[in-house]
Structure 1
Amino acid sequence: MSKRPRIPGPIVAGPEDPAETEGLTARVDGQDATAPPPSRAALIEKLRDCYDPELPVNIYDLGLIYALEVSETGDVGITMTLTAPGCPVAEIMPKWVARTVAQLAGVRAVSVTMTWQPPWTKEMMSEDALLALGF
């Protein structure tokens, strides 16, 4: 696992009611849609550049990515959750993830949608994440 990058700016309290962020979608245009769409493996590697700001593990290995789709035209759809409904980054994390994935060649646009169903549990983590967190 690589060293996690820091999210710029202060972290503030998250929403009191998780329903406020259920279905929240961030959309970001890609930078290079002239290349072929990225592979699923390339998308996963890019998602591994995104870290939970409170844990030393990337969001993919934490099991926060529930769905990952890419169309033939380079449109990427991601459904994700966070470790807790009151997470202070619940409103900004989808945009951060979308901006990161949009950097890949062949991405025309990225949509990241937040969900709380099913609720995240530690059983969703990869073996690497479990080891990094001492489980």
Structure 2
Amino acid sequence: MTIQSAMRPLPRDLDAITVPNGEKVVLKEGEKVRVVQELGGSFTVKTDYGNLMRIDGMDADALGRELPEELAAKIARDAERAKGSFSMDYVSEALEEVYDPEIPVSIVELGLVYRTEEVMLDDGRRRIEIDMTMTAPGCGMGDVLTADAKRAAEAVPGVDEAEVQMVFSPPWGAHMMSDAVKLQLGLL
């Protein structure tokens, strides 16, 4: 959800990722930030200098926010799923919770995920293979979003490992977005 909060100083150093470059940085205690987006269990903040940064949802308290509902719900879902059997639907749901930090849209709805496949390894472990792309080959968030997709898939109970491959064939196009996203972005 897109929000606008007041600028507030950080009470401690926070790890952050620059948007759209995807560089890991540390925001220092006392730096002022404003929360502009809360989706997928993370926050996008704007600094005093106008830079966008992504902050992990587990650092919500440092932003004066509660643990994001999506993150709390994910923790509860994962605990419930751990009691049951594995399903690829759980993997799909987990990937739907990975959001592009520049626009409030999941990577699935954007059409960035081309393939998800369950592979049973010889030792009985389960690997999820994911092929995904970016809206542009030079997107600086590519490494960040692939790491997010890997982390999301590996958090699903019953998944032992995930392998995410960045592919550019076929090239991404706006026609790959869901109709709901096209409508949200004013493209329909």
Q: TM-score, normalised by structure 1?
A: 0.72
Aligned to 1:41: 89
1:117 equivalenced with 2:125 (yes/no):
no
Aligned twin of 2:186: 134
2:153–2:162 CA contact under 8 A, matched in 1:
yes
Equivalenced residue count is 114
Q: Percent identity?
A: 34
Show the counterpart of 1:10: 18
Read off the aligned partner of 1:108 and give its amino acid letter: D
Deviations 1:81-127 (A, max 9, x none): 01111111122321121011111101110000001111100111112
Whose strand proportion is higher, 1 or 2?
2
CA gap 1:8/1:37 in 2 versus in 1, 3 angstroms: farther
Separation (CA, whole Å) in 1 of partners of 2:92 and 2:98: 10
Q: Which amino acid aligns with 2:19?
A: I
Q: Which moved more, 1:71-80 or 1:43-52?
A: 71-80
| Residue 92 (structure 1) aligned with residue 144 (structure 2) | yes
Q: Using a 3 Å threshold, how does the CA distance of structure 1 residues 8 and 101 change in structure 2: closer, same or farther? A: farther
**How far apart are the structure 1 equivalents of 2:170 and 2:134?**
11
Q: CA RMSD in A?
A: 2.7
Alignment gaps of 5+ in structure 2: 3-14, 23-81
Distance 2:84 2:167 in 1: 29
Question: Which structure has greater helix proportion?
Answer: 2
The answer to whether the Cα contact below 8 Å between 1:37 and 1:71 also exists between their aligned partners in 2 is: no
Which letter does structure 1 place at the counterpart of 2:116? Answer: L
Superposed structure 1 runs of 4+ greater than 4 Å apart: 34-37
Alpha-carbon distance between aligned partners in 1 of 2:158 and 2:19, rounded to the nearest angstrom: 32
CA distance 1:106–1:74, change in 2 (3 Å): same
The normalised TM-score by structure 2 is 0.53
Cα distance in structure 1, aligned partners of 2:85 and 2:160: 8
